[in-house]
């Protein structure tokens, strides 16, 4: 079952998505950051899988440069629902909204975004308005989505050397919905 789940990383993990790292390197860095921060297994798995939608949407690399928002967060969360509980899928579903939230609520956050994140932010609706802020804050897993977003933002180092995908098999296996 895990081999089927992780097959997109084998097929497309070497692709770039507008950042200086591959999809797989980004995923592994995010998971490592979550692990080092002492997050629970659900958030470590969410960090590893947060961009799964980029791998399975079938629209190719760097689509934001073509003015397309693939809604990778929803595509990924929906694809992963058959394997994982909401404690994994919902932070994934809301990690883009968390970027919009942080842009609206945290002074200086926008200035730290990578150029690719700035571009995608425009396609994703820009910083949240007051009504959206209230709605997001009330959602289950919004706090986890914000923490996931921070790992996402930090996981873009070409020189990082995170542990490999096999390291996370026990975490993923423990969370699989039976």
57 has a pLDDT exceeding 70: no
- The 8-class DSSP code of residue 16 comes to B
- Count of helix runs (H) and strand runs (E) in the chain: 10, 0
How many domains does the structure of the chain reveal? 1
The interaxial angle of helices 115-123 and 86-105, nearest 10 deg, is 100
- Domain residues for 87? 12-173
Is there a contact between 175 and 2 (Cβ–Cβ < 8 Å)? no
What count of other Cβ atoms lies within 10 Å of the Cβ of residue 135?
Answer: 13
Any domain includes 120: yes
- Phi then psi for residue 82, to 5 deg, are -75, -15
What's the pLDDT score for residue 60? 56
Closest CA to 103 of 139, 136, 68: 136
> Which carries the bigger pLDDT value, residue 139 or residue 55?
139
Instruction: Report pLDDT for 70.
Output: 60
Residue 64 falls inside a structural domain: yes
Given a contact cutoff of 8 angstroms between Cβ atoms, the answer to whether 30 and 48 are in contact is yes
Does residue 81 lie within any of the structural domains?
Answer: yes
Q: Across the strands, what pairs with 16?
A: 22
> 37-51, 111-125, 136-150: lowest mean pLDDT where?
111-125
Mean pLDDT of 131-151: 98
| Percentage of the chain modeled with pLDDT above 90 | 69
| DSSP labels, 72-118 | HHHHHHHHHTTTS-HHHHHHHHHHHHHHHHHHHHSTTTGGGS-HHHH
The phi, psi pair for 141, rounded to 5°, reads 75, 15
Q: How far is CA 35 from the centre of its chain?
A: 15
> Once rounded to an integer, what is the mean pLDDT over residues 84-108?
97
pLDDT given for residue 68 in this prediction:
47
Which residue did the predictor score with more confidence, 66 or 32? 32
pLDDT value of residue 72: 84
CATH number at residue 53: 1.10.3210.10
Within a domain: 166: yes
178 part of a folded domain: no
Q: What is the mean pLDDT of the chain?
A: 90
């Amino acid at each position: 079952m895990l081999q089927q789940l992780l097959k997109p990383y084998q097929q497309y993990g070497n692709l770039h998505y507008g950042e200086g790292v591959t999809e797989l390197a980004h995923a592994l860095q995010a998971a490592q950051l979550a692990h080092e921060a002492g997050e629970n297994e659900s958030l470590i798995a969410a960090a590893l899988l947060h961009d799964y939608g980029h791998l399975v949407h079938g629209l190719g690399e760097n689509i934001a440069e073509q003015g397309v928002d693939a809604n990778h967060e929803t595509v990924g969360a929906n694809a992963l629902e058959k394997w994982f509980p909401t404690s994994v899928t919902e932070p994934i579903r809301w990690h883009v909204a968390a970027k919009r939230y942080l842009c609206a609520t945290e002074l200086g956050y926008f200035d730290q975004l990578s150029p690719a994140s700035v571009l995608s932010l425009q396609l994703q609706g820009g910083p949240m308005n007051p009504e959206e802020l209230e709605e997001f804050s009330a959602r289950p897993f919004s706090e986890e989505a914000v923490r996931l977003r921070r790992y996402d933002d930090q996981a873009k180092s070409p020189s990082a050397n995170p542990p490999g995908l096999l390291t996370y098999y026990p975490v993923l296996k423990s969370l699989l919905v039976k």
